[in-house]
Amino acid sequence: MCYLKVVGSEAVCNTADEAIQIFGGMGYSMETGVEMAYRDARITKIYEGTNEINRMLSLGEFYKRAFVTKELNIGKGAKSVLASIAANFNPFKSGFLTREFML
Non-local CB neighbours of 48 within 8 Å, separated by 6+ positions: 5, 54
3-state secondary structure the chain: CHHHHHHHHHHHHHHHHHHHHHHHHHHHCCCCCHHHHHHHHHHHCCCCCCHHHHHHHHHHHHHHHHHHCCCCCHHHHHHHHHHHHHHHCCCCCCCCCCHHHHC
Q: Catalytic residue positions?
A: 48
